[in-house]
């Protein structure tokens, strides 16, 4: 039995956290998965993300701020107790702790996935990544070709594999648009452009709100997600005079309902790896309009969606109108099924695990 730890920074729902959770829910031959978060408590995590209660092997290490050497000891204790063979880390903090554990337990194999590479613009994080790559045995995977290219250019780190993220396409499936809107309290007499992203700088909310001022009045925008900039974005919508056409849902517990409620999905973010929200929207058969960042152009079919240069905000409104006129039947979902399934992603990672253990 090849026991594997999926090591994440915190247990709050986001793209890479959902990806690690999905791997833990996958049935892999001769492998048992453990989801371990450096921060937080198990009780608090399950309260904010109830699906975590489905996992038999989920741990939170309650890390304090800054470097916490007690966490290394806790990880080593878990490894010894459960005979862990592989640590699969996600993001820079888990990468560092995984490498420290590798020094103390050299037989452990360390796999790390780069989910985006924007943090490599920070000198400290870039140096951490370079040193870990050079000084400790580690197999680096990128979740998109674009991420691998940035890692090479910024940090001279060459990922050995590119594995696109996958989603549970049995869970993310379209349902009645009418009923989905009723469940979410959204109007059924409007056209809805939806976005699922943290409400933070760089996620494109302001560009979308500015674009709304140029679109027909019957078009509304719906935002799923919360964040530190929520009050600021609401005030910005009021300043633009579009508040009555903007719906802020906060955290949505059942995202397939959100995707089913909207007419087109938009993510005009300044930085991404391969965002799961794009794949989720397509699996729910919704056309996508997104900025050309990270690996988005690697998965958005140009016949069923639009990828726009980040600096050309003026293209956003006409692209949204074109997306609303697309005649796609169930083609978008079929396209997602062909390339973005959780099963395919899990199988590819399992081959990487098995190769590392040879």
- The predicted-structure confidence for 275-312, as pLDDT tens digits, reads as follows 899 999 999 999 999 999 988 999 998 888 999 998 89
**Structural domain boundaries, residue 266:** 177-339
Instruction: Give the chain's length.
Output: 358
Distance CA 275, CA 298 (A): 11
Residues 159 and 204 in one domain: no
Task: Look at residues 130, 79, 133, 78 and name the one whose alpha carbon lies nearest to residue 106.
Answer: 79
Task: Categorize the per-residue pLDDT at 118 as very low, low, confident or very high, splitting at 50, 70 and 90.
Answer: confident
Residue 171 lies in a domain: no
Residue 172 lies in a domain: no
Percent of the chain past pLDDT 90, that is, above it, reads 74
Task: Look at residues 37, 19, 123 and name the one whose alpha carbon lies nearest to residue 341.
Answer: 19
Per-residue model confidence (pLDDT) at position 263:
98
Residue 321 lies in a domain: yes
Residue 149 lies in a domain: yes
DSSP 214: T
DSSP 63: P
Residues 209 and 287 in one domain: yes
What total number of domains does the chain contain? 2
Residues 123 and 192 in one domain: no
Task: Categorize the per-residue pLDDT at 117 as very low, low, confident or very high, splitting at 50, 70 and 90.
Answer: confident
Over range 138-154, report the average pLDDT. 92
E strands of 179-336, at which residues?
Answer: 191-196, 219-224, 246-250, 264-267, 288-291, 305-308
State yes or no: pLDDT of 1 exceeds 90: no
Residues 315 and 214 in one domain: yes
State yes or no: pLDDT of 313 exceeds 90: yes
Residues 153 and 236 in one domain: no
Per-residue model confidence (pLDDT) at position 97:
96
Give the H or E element holding residue 4: strand 2-8
Residues 302 and 347 in one domain: no
Average pLDDT, the chain: 93
Residues 226 and 326 in one domain: yes
Residues 311 and 348 in one domain: no
Q: What does the radius of gyration of the chain's CA atoms come to, in whole angstroms? A: 21
Task: Look at residues 71, 144, 106, 82 and name the one whose alpha carbon lies nearest to residue 307.
Answer: 144
Percent of the chain past pLDDT 70, that is, above it, reads 99
Lowest mean pLDDT among 70-79, 113-122, 132-141, 236-245: 113-122
Residues 40 and 186 in one domain: no
All residues at 6 or more sequence positions from 323 whose CB lies less than 8 Å from its CB, including other chains: 264, 287, 288, 289, 305, 306
Per-residue model confidence (pLDDT) at position 124:
84
CATH of the domain at 212: 3.40.50.2000
Residues 294 and 204 in one domain: yes
Residue 330 lies in a domain: yes
Residues 348 and 331 in one domain: no
């Amino acid at each position: 039995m090849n026991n594997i730890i999926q090591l994440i920074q915190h247990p709050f729902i986001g793209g890479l956290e959902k990806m690690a959770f999905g791997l833990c829910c996958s049935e892999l031959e001769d492998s048992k998965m453990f989801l371990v978060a450096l921060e937080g408590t198990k009780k608090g995590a399950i309260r904010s993300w109830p699906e975590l209660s489905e996992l038999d092997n989920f741990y939170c290490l309650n890390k304090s701020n800054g470097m916490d050497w007690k966490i290394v000891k806790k990880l080593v204790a878990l490894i010894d107790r459960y005979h862990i063979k592989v640590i699969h880390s996600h993001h820079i903090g888990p990468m560092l702790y995984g490498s420290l554990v590798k020094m103390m337990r050299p037989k452990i194999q360390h796999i790390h996935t780069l989910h985006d590479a924007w943090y490599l613009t920070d000198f400290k994080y870039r140096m951490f990544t370079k040193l870990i790559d050079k000084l400790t045995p580690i197999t680096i995977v990128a979740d998109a070709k674009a991420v691998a290219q940035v890692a090479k250019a910024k940090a001279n780190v060459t990922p050995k594999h590119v594995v696109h993220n996958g989603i549970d396409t049995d869970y993310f499936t379209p349902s009645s648009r009418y009923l989905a809107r009723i469940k979410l309290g959204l109007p059924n007499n409007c056209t809805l452009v939806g976005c699922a992203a943290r409400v933070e700088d760089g996620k494109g909310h302001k560009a979308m709100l500015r674009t709304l001022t140029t679109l027909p009045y019957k078009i509304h925008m719906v935002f799923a997600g919360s964040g530190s900039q929520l009050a600021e974005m609401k005030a910005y919508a009021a300043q633009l005079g579009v508040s009555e056409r903007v719906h802020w849902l906060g955290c949505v517990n059942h995202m397939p309902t959100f995707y089913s409620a909207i007419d087109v999905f938009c993510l005009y973010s300044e930085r991404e790896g391969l965002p799961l929200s794009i794949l989720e929207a397509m699996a729910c058969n919704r056309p996508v309009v997104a900025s050309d960042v990270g690996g988005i152009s690697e998965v958005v079919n140009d016949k069923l969606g639009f990828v726009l240069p980040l600096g050309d905000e003026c293209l956003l409104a006409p692209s949204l109108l074109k997306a609303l006129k697309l005649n796609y039947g169930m083609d978008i979902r079929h396209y997602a099924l062909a390339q973005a399934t959780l099963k395919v992603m899990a199988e590819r990672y399992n081959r990487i695990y098995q190769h590392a253990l040879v």
